[in-house]
Chain A
Amino acid sequence: MKTTLHFQDADTFYEQLLDAHTGLDREQSELLNARLILLLANQIGDARVLGECVAAARTLPPG
């Protein structure tokens, strides 16, 4: 799992993500997120990287 910067353009992606949710209710937003996770996961493919990403997402920083 990469933890160093790999985005070509982080600000644009973040904006796209927020814009995609504009006007959606909670249920629609959750479905969008779930679809996006599955689409992105398929881009990664690598089982070890995916496993590390899932584990990392569960681990919140202290405090």
Chain B
Amino acid sequence: MSTPASYGETAFTNGYEFTQGAGYCLPEYPFTEPPELKSGEVRRHKVVIVGAGITGLTMACCLARLGVEAVLLDEDNTVGVKGAASRGICYTQKSLEIFHRLGVYERIAAKGIQWSVGRTFAGKDEVYSFDLRKQSNFDRSIQPPFINIQQFYIEGYLVERIYGLGHVDLRWKSRVVGFEQHKDFATLTVETPAGQYKLEAEHVIDASGSHTPFHAWCGATMTSRRGDDRWCIADVRFKNLPPTERHTWIEAPFNGNRAVWQHLMADDVWRIDYQMEPHADPEYVSREEVVRERLRQQFGPDVECEIVWVGPYAYRSQCLDKLRIGSVFFMGDTAKIVSPFGARGGNTGVSDADNLAWKLAAVLKGRAPASLLESYNEERHEAAAQNVQVTNRTARFLRPAEGMERLFRKAAISLARQYHFARQLINTGRMAVANSYTHSSICDRTGGQSVQNVAFRWADGSKGGVNDLLAWADGGLLVLLFGDMPSTACQRLKQLATHAPVHCVQVVGPDNRAGALEHVLDPHGHLQGACHVFGHAWALIRPDGYLAATGESVDTGLIQAVQRSLGIKQ
């Protein structure tokens, strides 16, 4: 059950959104006959996750780490889509910080490729370039701005981690074929190689992807948009490697003046995306000789490469109106679907899972009322809607309508060659960020932002990071108190910690003195900067690394913020 990837015979096929191929050989996991099939008993579970993609597995791993029992159902017995695309390739700092908390980051970092330089071209000329390492907001975290890696590697690492942690019952070859909502739970009918059975779930997590049956079962309403933009992916291994940079062409002379993406991945595999003519024949554009001709056009007539996988795709955008219906929570591609520009698909799913997992754990452990779960929809629907909007804008830039839209793009590109300001109009994808929550009922207006995993020093001088503090808080809330510690504040915090799931730490800056509370050292003010506070202040941080609120003095305002962040109505 380790996670190797070998490369099989290339398959050139013509699926519309997914191809079947044999390019990647994926690990397989064993089907075990579930106890319900033997006993005939219908068991009620607190949490059932449907779909072992990156979102469902992140959810399962988050719950396992918090010690919450769950069942994970997946219709397949592998990660990835068998023999098919490498799918997602680009993982953001926020996702990497989450994977670090889950204990799989080191493997991802060892296998994946870090990059920070991106270049955008139009015609033969570079329009602009950027270096993420030089952008100040990225360099504070212990994790890099991005790592590129084939999605199935991360999924494989998560599976192995979940097996190691326990608590989650991984059920492979288990397809959900029926659903019934009752007052406080749902009944699922599951089809397996050994027969059908039913199970009950108080919370159903639908992470089954864009073809989910749960939308119809739950009567979900949504906004969808489907365009005529067509692309063809080629995953390629070169004999002579291109530079370790992300290159994007808005108008590539070697692709009929249409767009091209050139991205790197693990195993020296490169993802080249070619924009096709609208309504291009997917079968034709993914034929080996056609793909090889495109590669020769791009890299020269003597290019030597092995084609690992080829697949045409079209995309749609879709956003559910509500991410929770009855017992069912929608996350990942069941919550929203975006075009691939800016890596806002999988990364959003990872954050969806991280958002719901701690809330579910707090409710199931009796630390918070069930109403806390309503904030999942508030927060992640805002993120979904924003990611749909951002990616739709990119799609519109890359496939402008004929007439005025194309004219404005031409104007923007010509200005970008001349003037710095106009580069901002060139939209080849706005890279995913940790979405902020601006109208969450559990965040104060001072909160809602993600706190980066910045470094500090423990009291003994050794190095620590925000994730270590979150691990110490163990699914509870974290209060950081910046500056000196009056004894009244210390007493209040100690009392607070006995009444609520809160861990309190003093953060001692260069001009402060350690008080009676546990403390860490922040000599360069990085931790303070990451919490967006100045001087003497407190910051209330949630288990998902988001700020719930910040304030100045330790008073009833902090108590109220703690209650509010747990969904306790005031």
Residues in chain A within 8 A of chain B (CB atoms) = 30-31, 34-35, 37-39, 42
Please give me the residue from chain B that is nearest to A35 by CB atom.
B411
Whether B425 is near chain A, meaning CB under 8 Å from some CB there, is: yes
Whether B407 is near chain A, meaning CB under 8 Å from some CB there, is: yes
A34 near B411: Cβ-Cβ < 8 Å? yes
B407 near A30: Cβ-Cβ < 8 Å? yes
**Complex alpha-carbon distance, A39 and B410, angstroms:** 14
Contacts of A38 in B (CB 8 A): 408, 411-412, 415, 422, 425
A31 near B422: Cβ-Cβ < 8 Å? no
Contacts of B422 in A (CB 8 A): 38, 42
Selected from A30, A35, A37, A42, the residue in CB contact (under 8 A) with B414 is A35
**Complex alpha-carbon distance, A28 and B408, angstroms:** 12
CB-contacts of B368-422 with A (<8 A): 407-408, 410-412, 414-415, 419, 421-422
B407 near A31: Cβ-Cβ < 8 Å? yes
User: Can you list the 8 inter-chain pairs with the closest CB atoms, starting with the nearest?
Assistant: A34-B411, A35-B411, A42-B421, A34-B408, A34-B407, A30-B407, A38-B411, A38-B415
**Complex alpha-carbon distance, A60 and B414, angstroms:** 30
21 example contacts (A-B, Cβ-Cβ < 8 A) are as follows A31-B407, A31-B410, A31-B411, A31-B414, A34-B407, A34-B408, A34-B410, A34-B411, A35-B414, A35-B415, A37-B411, A38-B408, A38-B411, A38-B412, A38-B415, A38-B422, A38-B425, A39-B415, A39-B419, A42-B421, A42-B422
**Complex alpha-carbon distance, A39 and B421, angstroms:** 9
Q: How far is the CB of A42 from chain B (nearest CB, A)?
A: 5
Contacts of B415 in A (CB 8 A): 35, 38-39
Contacts of B414 in A (CB 8 A): 31, 35
Contacts of B419 in A (CB 8 A): 39
**Complex alpha-carbon distance, A30 and B408, angstroms:** 9
Q: How far is the CB of B122 from chain A (nearest CB, A)?
A: 15
**Complex alpha-carbon distance, A38 and B414, angstroms:** 11
**Complex alpha-carbon distance, A39 and B418, angstroms:** 11
A34-B410, A39-B419, A42-B422 given; 11 more Cβ-contact pairs under 8 Å: A31-B407, A31-B414, A34-B408, A35-B411, A37-B411, A38-B408, A38-B411, A38-B412, A38-B422, A38-B425, A39-B415
Q: How far is the CB of B420 from chain A (nearest CB, A)?
A: 10
Please give me the residue from chain B that is nearest to A30 by CB atom.
B407
CB-contacts of B327-342 with A (<8 A): none
**Complex alpha-carbon distance, A42 and B422, angstroms:** 8
Chain B 414-440 near chain A by CB (<8 Å), digits 1 or 0: 110001011001000000000000000
Please give me the residue from chain A that is nearest to B403 by CB atom.
A30
**Complex alpha-carbon distance, A31 and B410, angstroms:** 8
Q: How far is the CB of B408 from chain A (nearest CB, A)?
A: 5
Please give me the residue from chain B that is nearest to A32 by CB atom.
B411
Q: How far is the CB of A31 from chain B (nearest CB, A)?
A: 6
Please give me the residue from chain B that is nearest to A27 by CB atom.
B407
**Complex alpha-carbon distance, A42 and B423, angstroms:** 12
Q: How far is the CB of A19 from chain B (nearest CB, A)?
A: 20
Chain B 527-568 near chain A by CB (<8 Å), digits 1 or 0: 000000000000000000000000000000000000000000
**Complex alpha-carbon distance, A30 and B407, angstroms:** 8
Q: How far is the CB of B81 from chain A (nearest CB, A)?
A: 41
**Complex alpha-carbon distance, A37 and B408, angstroms:** 9
**Complex alpha-carbon distance, A42 and B414, angstroms:** 15
**Complex alpha-carbon distance, A31 and B411, angstroms:** 6
